[in-house]
């Protein structure tokens, strides 16, 4: 896999986060943080299900166009990125008390 392909994979992810950031902030201000997280989670579930359908097709196309090694590297990059995104967003879904055990309930 070329350095260009790896760079483009990372850049597309960053661009997507950039383009979604402002609208999601506005939505969060309008309807609240938790409903916005729920909408984001729903979009993630739909995207994941589509990924299970389209992923093998794209993996096969990548293997046909480039090589099996390139397809495996692309899959690894996407899985690592997905895991990192989950770890970064996980604290947002926890109650304040789970993050700070000394916090007062409801405050």
Question: Tens digits of per-residue pLDDT, 21-79?
Answer: 778 888 888 898 888 888 888 888 887 787 778 878 888 888 888 888 888 888 888 77
Distance of alpha carbon 94 from alpha carbon 97, whole angstroms: 8
Residue 107 has pLDDT above 60, yes or no: no
**DSSP 8-state assignment for residue 91:** G
Q: Where are the domains of the chain?
A: 3-91
Per-residue confidence at 92, pLDDT binned at 50, 70, 90? low
pTM higher than 0.75, yes or no? Answer: no
Q: Would you tell me how many other CB atoms lie within 10 Å of the CB of residue 62?
A: 19
Distances (CA, A) of 62 to 6, 21, 69: 13, 30, 9
* DSSP state string for 60-79: HHHHHHT-HHHHHHHHHHHH
Tokens of 31: 């309807």
The pLDDT of residue 78: 79
The pLDDT of residue 68: 85
Name the E strands within 1-107.
none
Question: Tens digits of per-residue pLDDT, 3-32?
Answer: 887 788 778 877 887 888 778 888 888 898
Per-residue confidence at 106, pLDDT binned at 50, 70, 90? low
The pLDDT of residue 13: 77
Distance of alpha carbon 105 from alpha carbon 107, whole angstroms: 5
- Radius of gyration (C-alpha) of the chain in whole angstroms: 18
């Amino acid at each position: 896999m070329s350095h260009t392909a790896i760079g483009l994979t990372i850049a597309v992810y960053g661009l997507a986060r950039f383009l979604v950031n402002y609208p999601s902030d506005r939505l969060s201000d309008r309807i609240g943080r938790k409903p916005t997280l729920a909408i984001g989670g729903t979009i993630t579930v739909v995207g994941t299900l589509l990924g299970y359908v389209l992923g093998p097709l794209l993996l096969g196309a990548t293997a046909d166009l480039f090589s099996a090694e390139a397809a495996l590297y692309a899959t690894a990059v996407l899985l690592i990125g997905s895991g990192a995104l989950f770890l970064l967003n996980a604290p947002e879904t926890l109650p304040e008390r789970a993050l700070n055990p000394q916090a007062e309930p409801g405050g």
